[in-house]
Amino acid sequence: MGIENLMQLAYPCIFGGDFNAHNTAWGSIKTATRGRKLKTFANITGLDIIAPPTPTRYGQHSASFIDLAVTKNFLYPYNITSVPELSSDRNPVILNFFNYNTPKPDKVFKTN
């Protein structure tokens, strides 16, 4: 199932990863082609792009916000952080959700 199909669902949806998409809208110091395309795609499809307040990748001369989460119909409270826990050029991104109870599945009635 592609991203376009996932975004057509009415259910809350969230996915994250290394998009390698620089855009000033989520904290990068410059906007690159991939970041511009992701932002345009998000605007057209009604997606929200969330990024931590601190960079997720540290290079030799700069830091960047390229590890992101993308949501659709996700109205629950959350907190996103980039944690300098590893001895790597990448920081893990932690996304915490608050006060969210998963909906109970519909009851299934079996009859003979």
Residue whose token pair is 């511009």: 36
Instruction: Quote the number of domains for the chain.
Output: 1
**Domain-located, residue 21:** yes
Q: Which residues span the domain enclosing 77?
A: 3-97
For residue 30, what pLDDT is reported? 92
pLDDT for the residue 76: 81
Asked if residue 63 belongs to a domain, the reply is yes
User: Is 40 inside a domain boundary?
Assistant: yes
User: Looking at residue 90, what is its pLDDT?
Assistant: 81
Residue 88, domain member (yes or no):
yes
From 60, 66, 100, select the one nearest 82 (Cα to Cα): 66
Distance CA 44, CA 59 (A): 32
30: domain CATH number is 3.60.10.10
- 49 assigned to some structural domain: yes
The answer to whether position 45 is within a domain reads yes
Higher pLDDT, 10 or 21: 21
- pLDDT value of residue 32: 95
- Please check whether residue 105 lies inside any domain of the structure: no
pLDDT tens for 41-90 read 999 988 899 999 888 888 777 888 888 999 888 888 888 998 887 677 88
User: pLDDT tens digits, residue range 18-32?
Assistant: 999 999 999 899 999
CA distance 28 to 64: 5
The predicted model gives 92-106 an average pLDDT of 77
Task: Report the predicted TM-score, pTM, of the whole model to 2 decimal places.
Answer: 0.75
Residue 112: inside a domain: no
Give the integer Cα–Cα distance in Å for 110 and 2: 34
